[in-house]
Amino acid sequence: MRVIRSIGSLLFVLGILAISAASFAQVRVGVAITIAPPELPVYDQPLCPGDGYIWTPGYWAYGDDDYYWVPGTWVLAPEVGFLWTPGYWGWGDGGYIFYDGYWGPQIGFYGGINYGFGYFGHGYEGGRWDNGHFFYNRAVTNVNVTVIHNVYETRVANNATVTRVSYNGGNGGINERPTAQEKSASHERHIPPVAVQTEHVEAARSNRELRASANQGKPPVAATSRPGELKGGGVVSAREGGAVHEPATRPENNMGRGNPPVHPNELPRADRPAAPNTGNAIQDQKYQQQQEKLQAKQDQERQKLQQKQDQEHQKLDQQKANDTKKQQLEQHHQQQTQQLQQKHAQEQQRLQHQQQPAPHPAPARPPNP
């Protein structure tokens, strides 16, 4: 089954709805998809419609059992000084989870995804705020200088490996972690997507031509000059499509093909065993305590390994290591994580085996007359 739902996820989403906009932070959508999102298509940026508009890049969203493209568009910043941190897909809990974008005074982490037009994986090079006005970098954004005079031109050296992968983590995903500055930005005051952005997403979702199954990764509307305007002169189509991964409409073709976890925080949550009921209350209580002790121990081991791997990632980032070294480290982390997963599974099996009642001896056969 492609969509993994849980009561815990539902409660998480309901809790998020109760959070005020003033305290909004980047949050995960409570649905995990087991098929990776398509690659990002190649498209041109439409002309900026006016002063104060911020570019919000396009991305693949999920709904109605299919990925669909949400076109990139220009959006008026909700507050002076606020910038847009794009959402992104990340691997975790046995599937791909979407982390929604937000507005804030600093750019946060967006998965290291290269969305282009200033969003090259970290930060934003498309413009900056200065004395209450937004200045556009003509080197990476499409602006009409006869209409918008707040411009400058700074060539950006994009040293990141050119990739159109649209997700972070997992098998084949972007191997990037948030910087110290991005972590700090996550604790600042945020504003969720404004009304025109949510309406823009709904318009995209209702357009069947934007579904990956229909456009094969090459959306006919890749970007728009204004939110929700999916027709007209401000619409830009994709020049090149992105690879669409195998759909999960045929479960028999996907069994056993899940992406192996790379880090401990990507391991699926262990199901809590049912409370024992052997008829021996003392024995049941003892087993329950053993089970809780084992779970606490395994959680601690996961956290310890995750911290160790995070430190190794940070060390490579400080050394500005190349992609080959990063990939080697990821392979090593994957081996560590799988070994830990196997160890924990064996421990659970041993404990469950101990709980099984001993077989009753067979009754003695009466002697032959």
Is residue 255 very low, low, confident or very high in pLDDT (cuts 50, 70, 90)?
very low
CA-based max dimension of the chain: 115
The per-residue DSSP string of 232-299 comes to STTEE--SB--PPPPPSS-GGGTTT-PPPPSSGGGSPPPPPPPPP-SS-HHHHHHHHHHHHHHHHHHH
Distance CA 109, CA 86 (A): 8
If you search the block for the tokens 């109605």, which residue do you land on?
A: 64
Is residue 250 very low, low, confident or very high in pLDDT (cuts 50, 70, 90)?
very low
Distance CA 84, CA 196 (A): 14
Q: Has residue 330 got a pLDDT over 50?
A: yes
pLDDT digits (tens, 9 = 90+) for 9-35: 444 444 444 433 344 445 555 456 889
What is the reported pLDDT for 209?
Answer: 96
Q: Which residue has the higher pLDDT, 153 or 335?
A: 153
Task: Give the global pTM.
Answer: 0.64
What is the reported pLDDT for 253?
Answer: 36
Is residue 89 very low, low, confident or very high in pLDDT (cuts 50, 70, 90)?
very high
Distance CA 337, CA 21 (A): 37
For residue 65, is it left (φ>0), alpha (ψ between -120 and 50) or beta? left
Q: Which residue has the higher pLDDT, 36 or 366?
A: 36
What is the reported pLDDT for 223?
Answer: 98
Cβ atoms of residues 102 and 26 within 8 Å: yes
Closest by CA to 347, choosing from 294, 299, 289, is 294
Closest by CA to 78, choosing from 59, 56, 99, 48, is 56
The domain locations on the chain are 3-246, 264-269+279-355
Provide the 3-class DSSP secondary structure of residue 29.
Answer: strand
Q: Is the dihedral of CA 132, 137, 141, 142 positive or negative?
A: positive
Distance CA 83, CA 110 (A): 13
Distance CA 83, CA 127 (A): 9
Q: Which residue has the higher pLDDT, 218 or 271?
A: 218
Of the listed ranges 8-22, 35-49, 272-286, the least confidently predicted one is: 8-22
What is the reported pLDDT for 219?
Answer: 97
Within 10 angstroms of residue 199's Cβ, the number of other Cβ atoms is 13
Locate the DSSP E strands across the chain.
3-4, 28-33, 53-56, 59-63, 66-70, 72-76, 83-85, 88-92, 95-99, 102-104, 127-130, 133-137, 151-152, 167-168, 223-224, 235-236
Q: In sequence order, which residues have a C-beta less than 8 Å from that of residue 186 and are 6 or more positions away?
A: 25, 26, 108, 109, 178
Q: Has residue 185 got a pLDDT over 50?
A: yes
Q: Which residue has the higher pLDDT, 149 or 274?
A: 149
Q: Which residue has the higher pLDDT, 80 or 12?
A: 80
Proportion of the chain above pLDDT 90, given as a percent: 50
What is the reported pLDDT for 288?
Answer: 81
Q: Has residue 254 got a pLDDT over 70?
A: no
Q: Has residue 327 got a pLDDT over 90?
A: no
Of the listed ranges 59-68, 179-188, 263-272, the least confidently predicted one is: 263-272
**Dihedral (Cα; 59, 152, 163, 26), 10-degree rounding:** -40
Structure tokens of 345? 């599974």
What is the reported pLDDT for 355?
Answer: 62
Of the listed ranges 83-92, 128-137, 321-330, 336-345, the least confidently predicted one is: 321-330
Q: What is the mean pLDDT of residues 120-132?
A: 96
Distance CA 75, CA 225 (A): 9
Which helix (H) or strand (E) is 354 found in, with range?
Answer: helix 323-355
Structure tokens of 186? 């996550």
What is the reported pLDDT for 21?
Answer: 39
Proportion of the chain above pLDDT 70, given as a percent: 78
What is the reported pLDDT for 194?
Answer: 96
Distance CA 278, CA 292 (A): 18
Is residue 237 very low, low, confident or very high in pLDDT (cuts 50, 70, 90)?
very high
Q: Which residue has the higher pLDDT, 17 or 82?
A: 82
Cβ atoms of residues 167 and 110 within 8 Å: no
Q: In sequence order, which residues have a C-beta less than 8 Å from that of residue 111 and are 6 or more positions away?
A: 88, 89, 90, 99, 167, 168, 174, 176
Q: What percent of the residues of the chain are helix, what percent strand, and what percent coil, each to the nearest 5?
A: 30, 20, 50
